[in-house]
Chains A and B, each alone.
Chain A
Amino acid sequence: MPTFTYGDLSIEVDEDGFMQEPEQWNEEVAKALATTEGVDELTDEHWKVVNYLREYYLQFGVAPMIRKLCKETGFNLKKIYELFPSGPAKGACKVAGLPKPTGCV
Chain B
Amino acid sequence: MEAEIRTLPEVSQDVLASLRPPSLTPEKIQERLSYIIEKDRVVGDLPRRFLEAFAAVLKHTNYRQVIDNYARIPARCANCACACQIYQQTHDPKDVPCYRSNLLLEVYRRHFTLRGIVEGHLSGAPFLTDDLILEMAETYYHCTACRRCTLECPLGIDHGLVTHLARYVLSEIGLVPRALVISTREQLEGQTRNTSAIPWPAIADTLEFLEEEIKDDKGVDVKFPVDQPGREFIFFAPVSDYLMEAETLMGIAVVFYATGAMDSWTISTEFLDGINYGLFYSDWILERCLREELEQLRRLEARKILIGECGHASRSAKAFMRTFGGGEKAPPVVNIMEYTYRALKEGKLRLDPDVISERVTYHDPCNLARTGWIIDEPREILRSFCRDYVEMEPRGQWNLCCGGGGGTVSVDEIRPYRTGVTGVKKAEQIRATGAHYVVAPCANCKKQLREVCEDNGLDDVEVVGLHDLIYKAIVLE
In the complex, A68 Cα to B239 Cα: how many Å?
Answer: 16
For B310, the closest partner residue in chain A by CB is A104
Whether, in the assembled complex, B163 has its beta carbon less than 8 Å from a beta carbon of chain A, the answer is no
- When A102-B197, A103-B183 are in contact, do A16 and B412 touch as well, CB less than 8 Å? yes
User: Of B182, B209, B242, which is within 8 A of A102 by CB?
Assistant: B182
| Residues in chain B near residue A62, CB distance under 8 A | 196-199, 202, 243
A103 contacts B239, C-beta separation under 8 Å: yes
Whether, in the assembled complex, B206 has its beta carbon less than 8 Å from a beta carbon of chain A, the answer is yes
User: Of A15, A16, A89, A90, which is within 8 A of B243 by CB?
Assistant: A89
Whether, in the assembled complex, B129 has its beta carbon less than 8 Å from a beta carbon of chain A, the answer is no
Interface size class of A (residues with CB under 8 A): 10 to 19
Query: What is the count of residue pairs linking A and B with beta-carbon distances less than 8 angstroms?
Result: 77
Q: Count residues of B near A (Cβ-Cβ below 8 Å).
A: 35
Whether, in the assembled complex, A74 has its beta carbon less than 8 Å from a beta carbon of chain B, the answer is no
Whether, in the assembled complex, A38 has its beta carbon less than 8 Å from a beta carbon of chain B, the answer is no
B443 contacts A104, C-beta separation under 8 Å: yes
Chain B stretch 106-141: residues in CB contact (< 8 A) with chain A: none
A103 contacts B196, C-beta separation under 8 Å: yes
B199 contacts A105, C-beta separation under 8 Å: no
Whether, in the assembled complex, B56 has its beta carbon less than 8 Å from a beta carbon of chain A, the answer is no
A10 to chain B, nearest CB (A): 22
| Residues in chain B near residue A104, CB distance under 8 A | 195-196, 238, 240, 275, 409-410, 443-444, 447
| Residues in chain A near residue B194, CB distance under 8 A | 103
Listed by A's residue number, 29 A-B pairs whose Cβ atoms lie within 8 Å are A61-B197, A62-B196, A62-B199, A62-B202, A63-B243, A64-B206, A65-B209, A65-B243, A65-B244, A66-B243, A68-B206, A68-B246, A90-B412, A102-B179, A102-B183, A102-B186, A102-B195, A102-B197, A102-B410, A103-B194, A103-B197, A103-B238, A103-B240, A104-B240, A104-B275, A104-B410, A104-B443, A105-B196, A105-B243
Besides A62-B196, A102-B179, A103-B194, 6 more A-B contacts (Cβ < 8 Å) are: A62-B202, A65-B243, A102-B183, A104-B410, A104-B444, A105-B447
